[in-house]
Every structure is written in structure tokens, then in C-alpha cells.
């Protein structure tokens, strides 16, 4: 029975894994339809069925698994996601404190993180890359972006930066992650193919809207006002938080399907990348939403 998935990473992993398994089967003599063991058999012992020295003549040993081909486990995903997020946090802290001493340099690093992360992220996503170097490089670029945005918004609230804004955003991001994981685990949220398509289209629309608003802001202060402290900004920000949270559920489904299908553990890097993208976006949207609330209602 073959598992089907709507997750591109899982689909690619299944196809590659199936091709490797089929090739290995033919090399070992298992490629004949209807035969579960090599043909012809030789040396099958009839007395005592000795256990020592197994495999016996006529039963070739299974080839050793190469690095990266062992079945993926949840621990593989957790460890790699932890590494990816660790790099994000490290570079975010560096750029945050760079902003305190050299705002110009920090803004330059933030721009590099935004543009570089966008380009590298698209390459990783469309090619379904599992390279640790590429994914950790993406995490580093996202860290620069997160640190720069955090420092800029915090500095607009108070001289020297409002540290409570960042703390609240981090706590809220962790809380939303936990809630979404619980909702998925207990199947309160049904991540169907329709759900996946709806959230994917919504995320693409949100990205396009942010880009258009950003470009328009060069000609009209604030653009459409989607990211400004206003009623419209709050509504849009809340919608974006919901969309970002829903992408986490899609990632959970992909991880579950990948583990059930026995995809090679190298694909844990692809799932770590997906979780990093969702969590960084979720943090930025929560950070901006809290910033707008403080700007509008704090005296």
C-alpha cells in the first residue's frame, strides 16, 4: 500500500525512496514478480536450522544503510529544527545589539537578511533541498531579519528599546505553537487537502499583499496602511497571525506522513526548514501586532 501526500517534500521523498528500494531489490535478486526471495535458492539447511553464522548460503545479507537513508523519526526533526532555530536566535541577538551601537550597519544587515532569505528560501522550497548548509544559511539570514525588525519596533516605543515587546512576542509565539500542536494532535483541526490548499493560497496572497504595500510605501506614506497602527492594521495583522499559525498545522501533517512512510532521515532538514519559515513569520506578525496595540493604546 503506497501512501499519497499533498506535501511536496513528502512526495519527493517517497518517489526517491521507492526508486532506491526497487533498485536495491533487483540487485539482491528480488526483482522477479511474485518472488519474495532470491531465485534459485541454494544451500537451504533442513536439519537444526542453525542460527550461528546467519545469513546462510542462499540468503544474502541486507546491504548496510548509507548515512541519511535510515527512516526519519520525530527526534530527527526535533534536533534539526532546534539547530535551525538556534541559528535564527543567535543571529537575531547579534543584529539586535548591533542596532544599539550602529543602527546603519544593523539596517544593512537586516536588508541582507530580508533579500537573501527570500531568494535562498525560494531556492530551497522549489528544489526541496535537504542540504544542512543551505538551510542553516537561510536560518542565519532570517536571524538578521528578525533581529533588525525587533530592534526597530522596540526602539520606536521607548529610548533604548522596549524589551517587554520582544519578550511578549516570543512567549506568544511559543504559546501559539503549543496550541496548534495540541489542536493537530487531538485532531481538533482536520488538515485535509482542502485545508492545505486554502492556507497555501491565503499565505501566497498575504505575501503578495505585503510586497505590494511595501512597494507602494515608497510613493505613499504607509502604503495602504496595512502595517500601520490603525484599525485596518490590527485586522490585517490578526488575519496574518492566523494564517501563519495554520501553516504550522500543515507542517505537522507533513512530518507525520513522512514518518509513517519511512522517508530517509535526510528529509528531516526539509521539515525543519518548513517549521523555521512558519515560526519566523508567526513571530514577526505577532511582534508587529503587539507593536500596533502598544502604539495605539499605551499612553
Q: Count of residues for the chain?
A: 299
Q: What is the pLDDT of residue 23?
A: 47
Q: Which residue has the higher pLDDT, 16 or 178?
A: 178
Q: Is a pLDDT exceeding 80 seen at residue 11?
A: no
Mean pLDDT of 124-129: 92
Quote the CA–CA distance of 81 and 77 in Å, as a whole number: 6
Cα→Cα distances 118→104, 136, 211, Å: 21, 14, 12
Q: Is a pLDDT exceeding 50 seen at residue 34?
A: no
Mean pLDDT of 77-98: 97
Mean pLDDT of 262-287: 96
Grade residue 138 by pLDDT with cuts at 50, 70 and 90: very high
Long-range pairs for 193-199: beta carbons < 8 A, 24 or more residues apart? 193/6, 195/246, 195/249, 195/250, 196/6, 196/7, 196/250, 196/253, 197/6, 199/243, 199/246, 199/247, 199/249, 199/250
Task: Report domain extents, the chain.
Answer: 74-297
- 285, exposed or middle or buried, with CB in 10 Å at 0-12, 13-18, 19+? buried
Q: What is the pLDDT of residue 29?
A: 45
Model pLDDT for residues 262-273, shown as the tens digit of each residue: 999 999 999 999
Mean pLDDT of 170-183: 98
Q: What is the pLDDT of residue 177?
A: 98
221 three-state secondary structure? coil
Quote the CA–CA distance of 213 and 237 in Å, as a whole number: 13
Model pLDDT for residues 220-257, shown as the tens digit of each residue: 888 888 999 999 999 999 999 999 999 999 999 999 99
Amino acid at each position: 500500500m503506497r501512501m499519497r501526500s499533498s506535501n511536496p517534500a513528502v512526495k519527493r521523498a517517497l518517489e526517491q525512496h521507492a526508486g532506491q528500494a526497487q533498485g536495491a531489490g533487483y540487485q539482491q535478486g528480488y526483482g522477479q514478480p511474485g518472488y519474495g526471495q532470491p531465485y534459485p535458492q541454494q544451500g537451504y539447511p533442513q536439519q537444526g536450522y542453525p542460527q550461528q553464522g546467519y545469513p546462510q548460503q542462499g540468503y544474502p545479507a541486507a546491504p548496510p544503510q548509507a548515512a541519511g537513508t535510515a527512516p526519519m523519526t520525530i527526534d530527527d526533526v526535533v534536533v534539526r529544527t532546534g539547530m535551525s532555530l538556534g541559528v535564527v536566535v543567535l543571529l537575531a541577538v547579534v543584529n539586535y545589539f548591533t542596532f544599539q551601537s550602529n543602527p546603519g550597519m544593523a539596517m544593512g544587515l537586516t536588508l541582507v537578511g530580508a533579500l537573501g532569505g527570500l531568494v535562498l528560501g525560494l531556492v530551497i522550497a522549489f528544489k526541496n533541498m535537504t542540504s544542512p548548509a543551505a538551510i542553516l544559511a537561510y536560518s542565519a539570514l532570517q536571524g538578521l531579519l528578525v533581529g533588525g525588525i525587533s530592534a526597530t519596533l522596540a526602539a520606536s516605543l521607548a529610548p533604548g528599546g522596549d524589551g517587554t515587546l520582544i519578550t511578549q512576542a516570543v512567549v506568544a509565539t511559543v504559546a501559539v505553537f503549543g496550541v496548534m500542536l495540541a489542536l493537530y494532535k487531538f485532531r481538533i483541526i482536520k488538515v485535509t487537502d482542502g485545508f492545505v490548499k486554502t492556507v497555501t493560497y491565503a499565505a501566497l496572497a498575504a505575501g503578495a499583499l505585503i510586497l505590494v504595500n511595501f512597494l507602494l510605501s515608497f510613493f505613499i506614506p504607509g502604503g495602504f496602511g496595512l502595517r500601520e497602527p490603525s484599525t485596518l492594521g490590527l485586522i490585517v495583522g490578526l488575519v496574518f497571525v492566523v494564517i501563519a499559525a495554520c501553516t504550522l498545522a500543515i507542517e505537522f501533517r507533513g512530518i507525520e506522513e513522512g514518518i509513517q512512510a519511512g522517508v530517509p532521515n535526510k528529509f528531516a532538514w526539509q521539515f525543519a526548514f518548513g517549521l523555521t519559515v512558519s515560526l519566523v513569520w508567526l513571530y514577526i506578525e505577532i511582534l508587529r501586532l503587539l507593536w500596533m496595540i502598544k502604539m495605539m493604546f499605551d499612553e
